[in-house]
Amino acid sequence: MRCPFCASVDTQVKDSRMAEDGSYIKRRRFCAECGSRFTTFERVQLKEVMVKKLNGIVVPFEREKLLKSVKVACKKRPITDERIDKIVSSIQRQLEASGEVEISSREIGVLVMDILSNLDIVAYIRFASVYYNFEKKEDFLKFIDTIKKEISALDEKVDSEITGKTYNQCSIIPEFPVGSKDLFNNEK
Ligand SMILES: [Zn+2]
């Protein structure tokens, strides 16, 4: 593995560790040339997934980009990194197993929102606001209004049935026009 700092190929594996659930192997590496340390992750890839962006350009699916956008949405929320990693893995598996040659970034966004809407309402709203890329304040407020209605409907249901569900859960993704910004253009 080439060193990400000095590009030397003279790097060594210092330590290999498998994730508790066996889903990846983490390797600590050392560059003999510049002395830097870095970590690599080895994961199963069932098949190469291509993502069609809003501008029509097709690029290979990058797990790291999806991970980053989910992490931004979950920042300071009670969701562990491990949980986020599992969310991204489950989406990746769904994409790989879908049988589609190309998957649009919109579809991936919907998969993420589906999971977040059932997990954490704040993370969901953050992710959705990037996804829908609201251009007007009114559009965003309308979106929040839809969610509010869902939550109160759910609260009533919980009150009457005592299902054990929390107020955090809502499961319907409202239909809104999607803005022109692409979900996967998250370089900042
Ligand atoms: Zn180096």
| Residue ranges of domains in the chain | 8-43
Residue in the structure block whose two tokens are 């002395």: 35
Mean pLDDT of the chain: 84
The whole-number average pLDDT for the span 17-36 is 92
Confidence of residue 90 (pLDDT cuts 50, 70, 90): very high
The more confident residue out of 179 and 4 is 4
Confidence of residue 167 (pLDDT cuts 50, 70, 90): very low
Closest CA to 90 of 108, 65, 68: 108
What pLDDT does residue 61 have?
93
Query: Residue 163 pLDDT more than 50?
Result: no
Confidence of residue 47 (pLDDT cuts 50, 70, 90): confident
Q: How far is the CA of 37 from the centre of ligand 1 (A)?
A: 8
The whole-number average pLDDT for the span 56-83 is 93
Q: How far is the CA of 27 from the centre of ligand 1 (A)?
A: 16
d(CA 12, CA 47) in angstroms, rounded, equals: 28
Q: What residues flank ion ligand 1 with Cβ within 5 A? A: 3, 5-6, 8, 31, 33-34, 36
Q: How far is the CA of 68 from the centre of ligand 1 (A)?
A: 25
Query: Residue 2 pLDDT more than 60?
Result: yes
Confidence of residue 144 (pLDDT cuts 50, 70, 90): confident
Q: How far is the CA of 38 from the centre of ligand 1 (A)?
A: 9
**Residue 128 host element (H or E):** helix 121-132
User: Under a CB-based contact definition with an 8 Å cutoff, are residues 105 and 127 in contact?
Assistant: no
In percent, the amount of the chain with pLDDT more than 90 equals: 49
Q: How far is the CA of 12 from the centre of ligand 1 (A)?
A: 11
Query: Residue 124 pLDDT more than 80?
Result: yes
Q: What is the pTM of this model?
A: 0.67
What pLDDT does residue 21 have?
83
d(CA 145, CA 148) in angstroms, rounded, equals: 5
